[in-house]
Amino acid sequence: MITFVWAEDENGLIGKGGSLPWNLPNDMKFFKEVTLTGNVLMGRKTFESIPNPPLKKRENVVLTRQTDLEIDHVLVMHTKEEVLEYAERTDKPLHIIGGSDIFELFVSDVDMLYKTKIHDQFSGDTFMTSINYQEFDLVEEKEGILDDQNSHRHTFQIYKRK
Ligand SMILES: NC(=O)c1ccc[n+]([C@@H]2O[C@H](COP(=O)([O-])OP(=O)(O)OC[C@H]3O[C@@H](n4cnc5c(N)ncnc54)[C@H](OP(=O)(O)O)[C@@H]3O)[C@@H](O)[C@H]2O)c1
């Protein structure tokens, strides 16, 4: 099974200057809970945005066009085909965690979407790829709880391909 796990603002923004445009610990917690159920695939730039890589207790797969790139404790891959073969031979979900090129590359292969909708507008430079939500059913929706550390209204949504 292939999933997307991401957070976007009201304009579909996901990134700013190589990191996240917002600080929302609740979303980090949700991200961890979801991705710990499987392995993670990300683009090379998203990997470089992780503070203490690799993400623990999950196999980290990084996609790059650099044929000589080696990263300790990380599976480096170069093509979509290689990733799909890997997803098929592992019995765990493969959670695709961005960024936009990587979401775009797998948009027709994804089975489930774990989306955090942030009801606010930020500035930034990286946007979510367009998804045809008519191909998916919304199966779960939960409002995030606001507190001192989590000041942006947000909703966790789970979609399943029809
Ligand atoms: N809000 C969220 O949920 C979320 C999630 C993820 C990321 N982000 C943010 O998004 C930004 C990073 O995302 P991004 O879209 O700029 O970059 P990215 O998708 O993480 O990485 C792009 C890189 O992936 C490799 N790549 C892309 N397409 C490929 C293909 N077809 N085959 C092989 N390799 C390929 C290339 O690496 P090489 O250059 O090494 O060849 C490319 O430069 C950061 O700001 C990050 O914080 C936000």
pLDDT tens digits, the chain, 162 residues: what are they? Answer: 999 999 999 999 999 999 999 999 999 999 999 999 999 999 999 999 999 999 999 999 999 999 999 999 999 999 999 999 999 999 999 999 999 999 999 999 999 999 999 999 999 999 999 999 999 999 999 999 999 999 999 999 999 999
Ligand 1 in reach of 15 Cβ (< 6 A): yes
Residue 24: CB within 6 Å of ligand 1? no
Interval between CA 123 and ligand 1 midpoint (Å): 18
Domain count, the chain: 1
Ligand 1 pocket, residue 117 CB under 6 Å: no
The token pair that represents 45 in the structure block: 């730039």
Which two tokens mark 157?
């949504």
Residue 1 neighbours by CB under 8 Å, 6+ apart:
38, 87, 93, 94, 111, 112
Which CATH number fits the domain that encloses residue 143? 3.40.430.10
Q: Which atom of ligand 1 is nearest to the CA of 65?
A: 41
Q: Which of 45, 61, 122 to mutate to test the pocket of ligand 1 (most atoms within 8 A of CB)?
A: 45
Largest CA distance in the chain: 45
Residue 19 is classified by DSSP as: B
Domain interval for residue 149: 2-161
Provide the sign of the torsion angle of the four alpha carbons 124, 129, 135, 140, taken in this order: negative
